[in-house]
Structure 1
Amino acid sequence: MNALLVLVSASLAAAVVAPPYAALNSTIGGRLQAATPFALPCFSQYNNASVKVDPTACAQVQAGYLKPAMRINSFGANMNPQWESCQATHNQCLLNSANPSDPTAMAGVSCNQGQLPQYYINVSTAADVQEAFTFSASSKIPLSIKNTGHDYFGRTRRPGSLGIWTHHLDSLSYSPNFTPESCNGTYRAITVGAGVTFDQIYNFADAHNVTYIGGYAESIGASGGWLMGGGHSVFSPVYGLGVDRVLEFKVVTPDGTYRTANACQNPDLFWALRGGGGATFGVVIESTQLVEPNVAFQVVNIHYNPDAAHAEEFWNIVVNGSLSWGQAGWGGHINTYGLVFVNPLPTVSLANAEDSFKQIADFALANGGTANFTTSPRWLPFFESTVLPKEAPVGGLVVLGSRLIPKANFASADGRAQLVQLMLNQTATMGFPNIPVTTPVLFDYVAGSTAVTPAWRTSLWHLVTTGFLTYNSTLEVNQATYGAVHDMVGMMRAVAPNSGTYFNEGEPYETDPQEAYWGSENYAQLLQVKNKYDPKGLLDCFNCVGSTAASSFPCYPGFTS
């Protein structure tokens, strides 16, 4: 039997690792690990060879298939499992997301490697990453970087690569007087290892009586792709994007150097990491980010399940109210549950909240919904009681596309009418949209200080559309779903032609990714930084800065429109 099957979860002795991996395994102390699919314990065949089913482990996988905690702790798992598979060839090892206990998903089916690399390094120090870069440069084997697997784009996977897993870089420290290296000035800050998730950091920040401005799901890594790709928060209208709040990175660049990047050291790299995207300029070991004193805030929580008969009225209220909500500092989410908004400005009272959202609250109450206005004394209890029950589900086969919708679209009657019609079309064709109202509307931004698309600074909505794949459907059916998402984003682009897109939630077949994610001026500068720190092109991912031809990523399925 293949040694990989025998040692699927153990460190591999150099003697059983085939060249050229044997030398690497020896260099890192025998800690090279076999990468195996998350669902493998449930299958009797692996890569078309017979293996034993592990009923106990299989039951654990089935029970945790739709849970972020289980997926975070497995190198083989992504939050959306189609990115574990090679969609173009149907090479996969998946359970039925609609029913993980469905026996037909396993009976007589081979669990195949999909997009997973054959081996990975469970990174514990910067030296591990340096060895990975040395290995890649000499062997010409590409690299892929995974943290938690909260990845809507498949960039954490590449077949035939060596995997770098940063999830166990879990250090956390708080400093009320942090000074970036070689700089002046002190800041209230938390230093976050690359593998720390928002769930961990929110608890840590609460224990130190400070507020960390972060994302809306427990499974996101706070120093990874979220931070580097333009991650945002419901507090971003007031406090800015993640890239606005990072003070310093510790990063191994592909030339093998462990660097500090901040405003005073390697400032070009610091700029690029603030929006240029993860898995592109280096492997971040830790980051240091600004935190706020404990923040109390007002909460508007309105539940209403919009039906077709009232959809136009609902969207008219929401679209017509959004500009005034944004200008007052409200941030939140609009989705199938209704809407949840928060405001941390001390000048905004509960009475202000009730007045600002009266029309939509009255609408919800008149149509069988609920409307609650409360004050939260700090972030953690709100996150646990309100966010976690409504966070995006995992384990499903989800395709995203998005567009940033400028404030200007909300400023005229014609612009608002266009948006209402877009919302009705999207609801009818793709289902109810998800709208993070998380752009930095009030944040005092220094022009050119970050690499994200300038559209973030002029927009009010981050409008998201979602397509759903069906387990084990044909390539042609899946391509049609990707095509439907592409077409819907095209409709968004028609309404907001001079805007951009959130890098981490763009659709895979974005028409003009360089312009959409960064803008042409930013992209030209990002490419210069990329070539400086990665002259051999060791880091490459689909539609990233400096990305090679799509043929380098053969598992993406394509689309039909």
Structure 2
Amino acid sequence: MKSQFLSLFSGALLLSQDVVAQVASPLGGPSPPAKKVWVYRRWAGANYACKCYAGDSCWPSGKDWQSLNTTVGGNLRVNLPPGAPCYNTFQGPLGNVSTFNAAQCASVTAGFPSEQYQIELPAAGLWTYFTNDTCRPTTNPAESCTLGYYPTLVITAKTVGHIQAGINFARENNLRLVVRNTGHDFLGRSVGWGALVINTHGFQDISLTNSWGGAGGYSGSAITVGAGVQAFTALGRLNALRPPKIMVTGECATVGVAGGLPQGGGHGPWTNQQGFLADTALEFKVITADGILRTTNANTNSDLFWGLRGGGPATFAVIVSASYRTFDDPVSTGITLEINLSQTPNATLFWKAITAFTGYSNYFVDNGIYVYYELGTMGQNLHVQPFVGIGKTVAQLQAIVKPLFDDLKAIGVPYTTTTKTFSTFYDLYRDMFETEVAGQSALTGGWTIGKEDIRVNNTGVVNAFKTILDNGSFMVGHMWNAGYGLPATRWNESSVNPRFRSVSNKLITLVPVSGNAPLAEKAAAQRKLTYVIDGALKAAAPNGAAYINEADPYIPNWQEVFWGTNYPALLNLRKKWDPSSVFYAVSTPGTEAWEQIEYGTRLCKKV
């Protein structure tokens, strides 16, 4: 397979085009301006100007791709879907490749449900809906394996110069560009039909300091991480210090902590204490759309620094490294709660219990408690794992949750619970938070519930929950308030939606649907998510908002629900830092004119 793979890259590419475009600068810096070539299409009664794709006359020649490959140290590869070794032939846009390999097929079949396995692949998406669910592992190698909505080529970047070369090449040749670190994305932003990917997962450097000496007026401890560093690695390094330290991360340990996480905001178990990950950022090293490496902090490129902290992933620049505040890691306690309708078939009592649970949302976050829960994953059940008391003893956390448990007893709903305490939050994090899986296909939505909504309409919120479960969906919940532990004077330092400072319950909604389902079925699932499931939440909680990393990208009025009053400033930043729209992620500032036409393939703008 390797020899054919290399032949495809060096041979078929050279024969595929006769148009020579300008080659990226071998020094990695900005290249001379080149005339941008568009592909004009008509779709659904409208005219579009589109990016260049394989088969278009403006697609770079094989000579150009070989020059780029030399510039990036031989790290440019034709992309194969993860399941390709299970098929006799991969039928790609650049030619066919014989791909079957029994040992590799066994490996990918076993690893496909593993997040970390897929993260280590060059261009996989951990959730497969937006890949078109093509070329999954199979036991029938005679089946068809095509590219689906996966990217066409990948640069596995090892240096800053490799990233610069990829950005310059995409800009000069008008290619769709995808920046991919872990592929840990619900909205399909780590993949894209026919795109060139820059994979930054190889940037694994970590440095620690007890005294930050950079901009921003902060002088405490800090961590600087490369773009590819994941939460479990960063937290492990911090925990090894004496005394141990901690940083804000997401709930899932495999998420990268530089890149899409802070650009979306970055919520997690420490959000009650310190706000979002974006709120703790001290500095970013980034490469902007012109291919230039820049430092951004409170003093240098401060407008860009503000936008990178919550203003949308893949919007303004590629993050190469990020520096964050770190904190002392205290004794922490966790409590689990399980309510299952199979133990009490009385649905009325079950929903009374859920009403009591959600009614305590404000109370929990006002006491600094983070709550992670799932509702409806196995029918009608509530699975809380865990209530998190950072800096709380067993007695303190139990006293906080006692009113809820007293209510459950009064309602007469049976439940089970466990309590554990740890010397650090890191130990709790490793022990009590459950491992997530990859390889599943679903549409993802979500909404946050405002504290005012809980105060005045908790019953309406619970009725929305009923609607969600009745329509075959389920929810993942996170109770936090991003303004509780962060002084109000610092709320506007980042560009996250100001409404997140006054919420108490954030939900992810999911509608299972295959990525290769018939178009009508996919459209029906999207309508259900947008207008029935998330629509019920929006109606019940008008003071809420949507979180860009875990929401329906096709939600109406996305500018307002994702960023609120910050959107106009973010739009202006996009016009300043990426006027040619080199970067793209669905429903992010400045993408109003862009669509993926022709059944979700070509990225184009209306003309």
Q: So what's the TM-score if we normalise by structure 1?
A: 0.89
Which residue pairs with 2:422 in the alignment?
Answer: 376
Between stretches 193-202 and 540-549, larger displacement belongs to 540-549
CA distance in 1, matches of 2:407, 2:101: 53
Match of 2:105 among 58, 61, 66: 58
How far apart are 1:266 and its partner, in Å?
A: 0.5
Cross-structure match for 2:549 = 504
Q: Is residue 2:65 matched to residue 1:21?
A: yes
Query: 2:521 — aligned with what?
Result: 477
SS in 1 for 2:211: strand
**Shift in Å at residue 235 of structure 1?**
1.8
Partner deviation per Cα, 1:435-459 (whole Å, 9 max, x = no partner): 1113314122324221111111111
Residue 502 of structure 2: which of 441, 445, 458 is its match? 458
3-state secondary structure, aligned to 1:372: strand
Deviations 1:187-236 (A, max 9, x none): 21111111111121121111121012211112211101111101101221
Question: How far has the Cα of 1:172 moved from its partner?
Answer: 0.9
1:153-195 CA-to-partner distances (Å, cap 9, x unmatched) read 01122222211000111111111112225x5541211111111
SS in 2 for 1:433: strand
Q: Take 2:549 and 2:596, find their aligned partners in 1: how far apart are those partners?
A: 20
Q: TM-score, normalised by structure 2?
A: 0.83
Identity %: 25
Aligned to 1:236: 271
1:111 to partner: Cα distance:
1.0
- Structure 2: state its 5+ residue gaps: 16-60, 376-381, 602-607
Q: Deviations over 1:474-495 (max 9, x none)?
A: 2222222222211211111112
Instruction: Provide the rounded CA distance (Å) in 2 between the counterparts of 1:420 and 1:29.
Output: 56
Residues 492-550 of structure 1 deviation map (CA, whole Å, 9 limit, x = unaligned): 1112224310001111321111111111x311111111121112221122111111544
The one-character-per-residue Cα deviations of 1:223-259 (angstroms, maximum 9, x if unpaired) are: 0111110110122112111111111100001112111
User: Which of 316-325 and 60-69 deviates more?
Assistant: 316-325
Alignment of 1:247-266 (within 5 A): 247-266=282-301
- How far did 1:4 drift? 6.5
Q: Are 1:312 and 2:359 matched, yes or no?
A: no
- For 2:571, which of 520, 527, 530 is the aligned residue? 527
C-alpha displacement of 1:368: 5.0
Rounded to whole Å, the distance in 1 between the matches of 2:217 and 2:123 is 43
Q: In the alignment, is residue 323 of structure 1 matched against residue 349 of structure 2?
A: no
How far residue 116 of structure 1 moved from its aligned partner, in angstroms, is 2.2
Q: Does the aligned pair in 2 maintain the 1:14–1:25 contact within 8 Å?
A: no
Query: 2: CA distance between counterparts of 1:324 and 1:294?
Result: 24
Q: Quote the Cα distance in structure 2 between the aligned partners of 1:312 and 1:428.
A: 13
1:516 to 558, 561, 578: 561
Comparing 475-484 with 36-45, greater Cα deviation is found at 475-484
CA apart distance, 1:470: 3.7
1:83 equivalenced with 2:117 (yes/no): no
- Note if contact 2:449-2:541 (Cα within 8 Å) is conserved in structure 1: yes
For 1:314 and 1:295, the matched residues in 2 are separated by: 32
> Which of 405, 422, 427 is residue 469 of structure 2 equivalent to?
427
Aligned residues: 535
> In the superposition, relative to structure 1, how do residues 214 and 375 fare at CA in structure 2: closer, same or farther (>3 Å)?
same
Runs of 4+ in 1 over 6 A off after TM superposition: 1-4, 10-17, 363-366
Conserved 8 A contact 1:198-1:219: yes
The answer to whether the 8 Å contact 2:5/2:97 transfers is no
Question: Over residues 39-66 of structure 1, what are the superposed CA-to-partner deviations in whole Å (9 max), with x where a residue is unaligned?
Answer: 1000112117462410000000000110
Structure 2 counterpart of 1:118, from 145, 148, 152: 152
Question: Against the structure 1 CA distance between its residues 144 and 232, is the aligned structure 2 distance closer, same or farther, given a 3 Å change threshold?
Answer: same
Question: After alignment, is 448-457 or 241-250 more displaced?
Answer: 448-457
Mark the CA change 1:57 to 1:363 in structure 2 (over 3 Å): closer, same or farther.
farther
| 2:287–2:317 Cα contact (<8 Å) kept | yes
2:282–2:323 Cα contact (<8 Å) kept? yes
Partner Cα separation in structure 1 for residue 6 and residue 497 of structure 2: 48
| 1:141 aligned onto 2:175 | yes
Deviation at 1:117, TM superposition (A): 2.2
Q: Aligned pair in 2 of structure 1 residues 482, 392: CA closer, same or farther (>3 Å)?
A: farther
**Cα distance in 1 for residues equivalent to 2:63 and 2:530:** 42
Map of 1:207 onto structure 2: 240
SS in 2 for 1:215: coil
Deviations 1:413-434 (A, max 9, x none): xx11212222222222234421
1:11 is displaced (CA, Å) by: 10
Counterparts in 2 of 1:250 and 1:11: CA distance versus 1, 3 Å: farther
